[in-house]
Structure 1
């Protein structure tokens, strides 16, 4: 089945105002709705609404951080959405970033690889209804059992950027979620994950013929994200270290404007899909042709009604 996903809620659109759009999505050709969690809505509530509005859609979190909820609460929230959307929910988890985990939620960001691994192992047991008493290397759980384990238990995907996490996803999860990559990067990521695991990617799409505006917005986002150490390492692994070195130098010197200016057009064009709507659809499809299973469009603001933009990007 060819999947075609959308990130909801849309920027600037109240959550309740998505109802009519969500009901249209299956007829438009969308198969998936994926949520995110930063400083807006939580990852689970929008999916609870989508399950009611359009029961045929597959729903996923991309991602719920493994630090900001206790293991038991994370299992409970996943079980709740899995009950509302039986067989159509995918739990995406990840480590998130120190800014979100520590800066906003006052939780130490320690041993991210081990915490992700231990959470996957706990969730595997908890979501099939096992009573879990276990001392994992990064946390301990005593006598936890879900009152209503979901049937079937949801697949679990791990947010992963580099070989270590991708291989962990291949061993312990049902697949991986990634972002900030070009279609030409997909084979590199796929080679670490393997061919038998689902690969999901959030793709930033700005459907406008104003290339300067799209690139300006793209530069702001790239300098915000790719200066985070894990994303910097990701793109060094993908081969963009030299192209992005001037950005990192300016950023380290505290000159954000210079950092933005230092990002080459070619890098923006690789990582942010922009142009006429038809070109944007073709570009998203290129990710699938390169080995991606599930493209998840994240609509960037263009000045147009974001609800209409989603409709225009239907496959």
Structure 2
């Protein structure tokens, strides 16, 4: 596979509109991809639509949009629109997301996450190919949906996948897998579930700073917010960090958020967050690639020794 080198957009210190100049620099720096996210900031599609014009030639991907916060037809329409803006350059990343995002924030219903993701994938394959879909799936039913304008080039579809069952679905029915919060050594564990021919994408959180204590303080708060989500807790149990993270989980369950953050060991932070000077960070990213990661998607963390725009430049593969 061709080695990719991606960047998360929009950048954490500015709005999508304010990101224009830096996004336009990315191709010249050697970045091949830009990937959006969708949590409680920018939506997953608009930043990519902007980047399609600002950075011609780069691949555009969502990592990820949830399958339960939009209806199947609306998700197909959004994907088709972006696929038409950037024919052959758009990758639709979808995933189950979490109960907090789906239910508490979006008034949706988080149930049967594996089946809902599988059913959405199967529906999107047909809809984005221009078919009229009337189908009763396990988790929803669609009657007579057909895109008014199917994309000239249907987008590739990749799945957010953290454990063997979803990873195998990604390898067998999708065009790749997206994962998150893992070490270079963990990449080998994940790769073993999907084989060598499946694209593996991961967002890597990076802080260009030699102040390890400050980075760890910032990173612990991020990790506590993620690793206490049940799906991530199960992921790290599977990866073998259950005992190391047990004190964090116990403190969190007791309602002591401060103690939970403090309980995350340095070695876990250092395994899951890339930090150091720019050369050290680039070398660490290449360890992920050597372990089997096809597409590293960098997410610079603010608060390092250099501002975000300089970190983006310093972390480029051609720096």
Q: Tell me if TM exceeds 0.5.
A: yes
- Alpha-carbon distance in structure 2 between the residues aligned to 1:251 and 1:134: 42
| TM-score between the two structures when normalised by the length of structure 1 | 0.98
Identify the residue that residue 250 of structure 2 maps to in structure 1.
249
Identify the residue that residue 137 of structure 2 maps to in structure 1.
136
Structure 1 residue 2 displacement after superposition: 1.7
Does 1:314 pair with 2:316?
yes
Q: In structure 2, list runs of 5 or more residues that go unmatched.
A: none
SS in 2 for 1:171: helix
- Alpha-carbon distance in structure 2 between the residues aligned to 1:33 and 1:199: 15
| TM-score between the two structures when normalised by the length of structure 2 | 0.97
- Alpha-carbon distance in structure 2 between the residues aligned to 1:140 and 1:20: 43
Deviations 1:235-261 (A, max 9, x none): 010000111111111111111111111
Structure 1 residue 12 displacement after superposition: 2.4
Identify the residue that residue 82 of structure 1 maps to in structure 2.
83
Identify the residue that residue 183 of structure 1 maps to in structure 2.
184
Correspondence list, 1:1-315, <5 A: 1-302=2-303, 304-315=306-317
- Alpha-carbon distance in structure 2 between the residues aligned to 1:196 and 1:133: 32
Question: Number of residue pairs matched?
Answer: 315
Structure 1 residue 274 displacement after superposition: 0.5
Deviations 1:108-164 (A, max 9, x none): 101111100100000000011011010111111111111221122111000000011
Structure 1 residue 68 displacement after superposition: 0.5
Structure 1 residue 172 displacement after superposition: 1.6
SS in 2 for 1:87: coil
SS in 2 for 1:225: helix
Between 1:230-239 and 1:145-154, the stretch displaced more is 145-154
SS in 2 for 1:115: helix
Deviations 1:288-308 (A, max 9, x none): 110010000011112542122
SS in 2 for 1:49: helix
- Alpha-carbon distance in structure 2 between the residues aligned to 1:251 and 1:91: 34
- Alpha-carbon distance in structure 1 between the residues aligned to 2:111 and 2:166: 15
Give me the CA root mean square deviation: 0.9
Between 1:144-153 and 1:273-282, the stretch displaced more is 144-153
Q: In structure 1, list runs of 5 or more residues that go unmatched.
A: none
- Alpha-carbon distance in structure 2 between the residues aligned to 1:210 and 1:93: 36
Structure 1 residue 15 displacement after superposition: 1.2
Provide runs of 4+ in structure 1 moved above 3 Å: none
Structure 1 residue 194 displacement after superposition: 1.7
Deviations 1:171-199 (A, max 9, x none): 22111100000000011101111222110
Between 1:9-18 and 1:80-89, the stretch displaced more is 9-18
Structure 1 residue 11 displacement after superposition: 1.1
